Amino acid sequence: MAGPVPMFTAVTSSSRQLLLLLRCISFAKMAQVRISAEGIRFSTEEGSAMEAFIFLEKAFFSSYTYRPPPPSSSQDDAPATPIFEINLTSLLETLSIFTLSDPNAAKKPGEYDSFAAHRLNRHAGINAFSHQALGMSGICRFTYEGDGSPLGIHMSESGVTTTCDLTTYGADSTEEIPFDREAIALKTIMRSSVLLEAISELSSMNPTSLAILASPSSRSTSSNLSLQASGALGSLAVDFTTDPSSDAPLLETFHCPSRVNATFKFSLIKSAQRAMGAANKVSMRLDEEGVLSLQFLVEVEAGSAGGEGVAFVDFRVVPLVEGEAEGINGLDGESTDEE
Ligand SMILES: *[C@@H]1O[C@H](CO)[C@@H](O)[C@H](O)[C@H]1NC(C)=O
Ligand SMILES: *[C@@H]1O[C@H](CO)[C@@H](O)[C@H](O)[C@H]1NC(C)=O
Ligand SMILES: *[C@@H]1O[C@H](CO)[C@@H](O)[C@H](O)[C@H]1NC(C)=O
């Protein structure tokens, strides 16, 4: 097709990795896409209470070109970074064409442990490994020609090519949920599976809210973090205490200058479960406004272009204000606490 040179082209042989990452934020049906010279960002949101995003640096791709359109003379503004929305469900369906032939992926689609299984398999022996290598041979090319044009996805594997044009929808450049890195009330790093287990355990009671409580550790006492879920059926807590002298502390980092207590809608935290399952580690932070940042470190195959072998999936969650927290727990009207 002799069209104009696309504004954006990116090629990856890691479509399976891309699928794994995008599934982490697939709690919403639509995703916003932003393309820049540095990389491509996919984000999803739940109203204005939560957002999740993945930023894939251009090094993730084996080739990446972005040519911003020349500034139009009729407009004063510099060319804006392309922002559009796509149907994430369709994108995931398209990308999963490659992984259907992968027994690990097909057996348990979307299961939390599919990535763990994949990692085990990678070390399990030559057969599993060579199957994996076969799966990785698929090449996926993205193209975007500019405002209003579809996001083209061209996939080829063993001589078979699949082409899919995903409709792009105009997007308001939504405000990101602000997180103040300079005013950190809590920062802790743990294995992501530890958080997944805690959230799964707390889910059993079908709670409506989750409070994150932490208190500073002193020389003598251990780090102290508590996740408390509450709902109509009561409340349940999972406490994390780490002996600072332990060789493999549960909480690898624990920074908590003073006591913190922030409450979130439980269902929002639960939306990060897939990310918890896919990631190796998670950095959990609260800023002084109580905004929660969960940053998941996900191991990916080192990119053919020398990528780092890790990718990050970020979640930001806005806390419930005091009245709201009690309201959703069905305790409306009982609170006389003042601010
Ligand atoms: C997205 O695509 C799926 C199928 O791929 C379709 O079922 C769904 O209705 C679409 N959603 C929107 C919001 O267009
Ligand atoms: C940890 O926090 C919980 C709840 O905030 C508290 O009951 C407990 O005494 C604390 N433990 C330590 C060792 O600070
Ligand atoms: C945390 O805050 C909630 C409401 O904001 C309150 O009900 C709860 O008692 C507080 N918990 C602690 C341990 O301070």
User: What is the DSSP annotation of 39-61?
Assistant: EEEEEEEETTTEEEEEEEEGGGS
Highest mean pLDDT among 68-82, 174-188, 271-285, 323-337: 271-285
Instruction: Determine contact, residues 136/13, Cβ cutoff 8 Å.
Output: yes
pLDDT for the residue 127: 35
For ligand 3, atom 5, name the residue with the nearest CA.
Answer: 322
Gap between the Cα atoms of 269 and 317, Å rounded: 8
User: Mean pLDDT over all residues of the chain?
Assistant: 81
Among all bound ligands, the one having the nearest atom to the CA of 28 is 1
Residues of 130-144 as b/e, b for ≥16 C-beta within 10 angstroms?
A: eebeebbebbbbbbb
For ligand 1, atom 10, name the residue with the nearest CA.
Answer: 87
pLDDT band at 175; cut points 50, 70, 90 = confident
CATH pick for 184-331 out of 3.70.10.10, 3.30.300.30, 3.30.470.10, 3.30.2130.10: 3.70.10.10
What token pair was written down for 19?
A: 């699928």
Q: Residue 121: is its pLDDT beyond 50?
A: no
Alpha helix segments (H runs only) across the chain: 15-23, 88-95, 103-107, 114-122, 126-135, 192-203, 266-270, 273-278, 322-328
- Give 146-168 pLDDT, tens digit per residue: 889 999 999 887 778 889 999 99
pLDDT for the residue 316: 98
Gap between the Cα atoms of 208 and 218, Å rounded: 32
Q: Is 215 touching ligand 3 by the criterion CB < 6 Å?
A: no
| CA–CA–CA angle 39, 181, 259 (5° rounding) | 145
- Give 237-267 pLDDT, tens digit per residue: 999 877 666 667 788 888 999 999 999 999 9
Among all bound ligands, the one having the nearest atom to the CA of 331 is 3
State CA 305 to chain mean position distance: 23
Highest mean pLDDT among 4-8, 132-136, 215-219, 281-285: 281-285
Atom index in ligand 2 nearest the CA of residue 213 equals 5
Alpha helix segments (H runs only) across 123-218: 126-135, 192-203
Going from N- to C-terminal start, the domains of the chain cover 8-100+135-170, 184-331
pLDDT for the residue 293: 98
- What residues are in contact with ligand 1 under a 6 Å CB criterion? 29-30, 87, 89-90, 93
The percent of residues in the chain predicted with pLDDT above 90, rounded, is 53
Atom index in ligand 1 nearest the CA of residue 90 equals 5
Gap between the Cα atoms of 161 and 154, Å rounded: 7
Sign of CA dihedral 145, 147, 150, 155: positive
Cα torsion for 278, 281, 286, 290, to the nearest 10°? Answer: 20
165-186 mean pLDDT: 90
Q: Is 128 touching ligand 2 by the criterion CB < 6 Å?
A: no
Gap between the Cα atoms of 187 and 172, Å rounded: 32
pLDDT for the residue 28: 95
For ligand 1, atom 2, name the residue with the nearest CA.
Answer: 90
- Give 201-236 pLDDT, tens digit per residue: 999 999 999 999 998 876 666 668 999 999 999 999
Atom index in ligand 3 nearest the CA of residue 259 equals 14
Distance 55 CA to ligand 3 centre (A): 35
CATH class of residue range 8-100+135-170? alpha beta
pLDDT for the residue 75: 57
For ligand 3, atom 11, name the residue with the nearest CA.
Answer: 261
